[in-house]
Amino acid sequence: MAISGLEVTSEPTLRDGTTLGDLINEDQREVSLRVLADPELYRLELERIFGRCWIAVAHESELPEPGSFVVRSIGEDSVVVTRSEDGDINVLLNVCTHRGMPLCRVGRGNAKRLRCPYHGWAFNTDGRFLAAPFEKQMYGPDMDKVALSLKTARAEVYAGIVFACWDQSAPPLVDYLGDIAWYLDIMFSRTDAGLEVVGEPQRFIIGANWKAASEQWAGDGYHAMTLHHSLTDLGLADYSKGSWAINVSTMGHNLRCTDNPKKFWGANTDGLSLEEKLRTLPPPGTTPEMLDEVMRHLSEPQLQILTDTPPSVGQIFPNLFVWNSPGLSADGTISAITRIHTMFPRGHDKMELVSWALVERDAPEDVKRKARQTSVLMTGISGFIEQDDAETWPAIQRSANGTQGQKLTMKYIAVLGEQRPEGWPDGATVYDGFSRDDPQWNWWLRYRELMTTGPAASEAW
């Protein structure tokens, strides 16, 4: 599905004549390491990927009341995400329309208006121009205030996550998510009050191209057995039979459904009713008191998947990582990891990883505290899972920066092909089996489709 109905134009061609088709070889299923290190390609990504896709920028719980705002990014553009007086969520380019000064200089807060620190122009929290100092003396009575409003992205919320999109012709968020939305509900839309962010999101600068992380998040179960072997050493995972999952894939989005909860709780739920299964394997982060709500919020097929092979980790194209799984807390008991990450690009060889910890809003304080501790313990660059990844991506970047290194390719040659378990719901492509390269390859195909379909949103305006 083309994202914005625009015609295919031309293959991106770099200054030395290399085309994207040379770098992403669809016949061989190989991707040149150069795609991680090329500044020209990177500039085009900012237009064709970050200028057109729905990009996650916040969680709605970060904007509890009118005037709440947080500062985030879409690509390299700083944006202010606000809750305006009417309760709407707005995503505004953090650039003053007078002379380009960023309006917000702090990461979050509450404000009745946004006032530029340079000459003092002021804007409403929905982006409309409000007033300028000495307005009459400077601009007379006929100032065109509408034309001076802040540039605004489309903003929509799904499963509590705030997404923004610059492309006015892109489909609505729910269509952009497609069949993956149904699975996101299982992870994040299970209760009346829903999830909320606890604490500040963690932020890290990592010396690697954003795609190095994104393509891994798209479904690389293979690396866990080697890179994350410490999990096996600690008794938290058993990869002796390899990495098995039911990968669900559509339009570049991918989720891994696994029977991890059964392993964590050591539960055999064969022959139990749906409700009995749910009570034996409560969704990570919920309490027994919430299970009636879970049963109300999700359909029977969703509950079936939730209790047998729930979606645990995955990626919404291009740069949102979603995670809901059991996790081991510091006191050795089982808690939950419920988390979203994004990587905002900061140049072709650098990214900012932003990571939010989520908890069920109605959970008791001690459950929330433990879940937050567990997710910090296990994820993020100090967590004992992701510290391995945070070391790996910059190391690959150094390979890609080398003149010889970037002539090599990344291989996606392990093919499973669609394997849909009997009775599995329709929609999306499903790969049931030993985790191979299919979901990650689909990620690259989506990337290539968007990079070769243009023009970029900003060119179209």
Structure tokens given for 335: 């808690």
Among residue numbers 100 through 119, which ones bind ligand FES (CB under 6 A)?
101, 116, 118-119
Choose, by CB under 6 A, the member of 30, 40, 98, 408 that binds ligand FES.
Answer: 98
DSSP codes of every residue in 412-431: -------BPPTTPPSSSEEE
User: Is the CB of 97 or the CB of 374 nearer to ligand FES?
Assistant: 97
* Interacting span for Fe ion (CB under 5 A) from 30-38, 140-148, 195-203, 389-397: 389-397
Rounded to whole angstroms, the Cα distance separating 402 from 407 reads: 9
Q: How far is the CB of 341 from Fe ion (least distance, A)?
A: 11
SS3 17: coil
Q: Which does 119 bind (CB under 5 to 8 A by kind): ligand FES, Fe ion, none?
A: ligand FES
CA distances to 66, 258, 374, 375, 399 from 369, rounded to whole Å, are 27, 26, 9, 10, 40
- If one asks whether residue 225 binds ligand FES (CB under 6 A), the answer comes out as no
Residue carrying structure tokens 């090329």: 38
User: Is the CB of 303 or the CB of 376 nearer to Fe ion?
Assistant: 376
Among residue numbers 12 through 31, which ones bind ligand FES (CB under 6 A)?
none
* Interacting span for ligand FES (CB under 6 A) from 98-106, 163-171, 347-355, 357-365: 98-106
Rounded to whole angstroms, the Cα distance separating 250 from 247 reads: 10
Q: How far is the CB of 111 from ligand FES (least distance, A)?
A: 15
Q: Which does 121 bind (CB under 5 to 8 A by kind): ligand FES, Fe ion, none?
A: ligand FES
Rounded to whole angstroms, the Cα distance separating 298 from 183 reads: 10
Q: How far is the CB of 63 from ligand FES (least distance, A)?
A: 24
- If one asks whether residue 197 binds ligand FES (CB under 6 A), the answer comes out as no
Q: What residues does 368 pair with on adjacent strands? A: none
Site map for ligand FES, 120-139, x if CB under 6 A? xx------------------
What is the 8-class DSSP label of residue 132?
Answer: -
User: Is the CB of 138 or the CB of 205 nearer to ligand FES?
Assistant: 138
Alpha helices in 14-164 (DSSP H): 20-23, 39-48, 135-139
Check: CB of residue 428 under 8 Å from CB of residue 180.
yes
Cis preceding linkage at 326, omega within 30: no
Choose, by CB under 5 A, the member of 362, 389, 432, 437 that binds Fe ion.
Answer: 389
Longest dimension (CA), the chain: 80
Binding site for Fe ion (CB under 5 A): 389
Binding site for ligand FES (CB under 6 A): 96, 98-99, 101, 116, 118-121
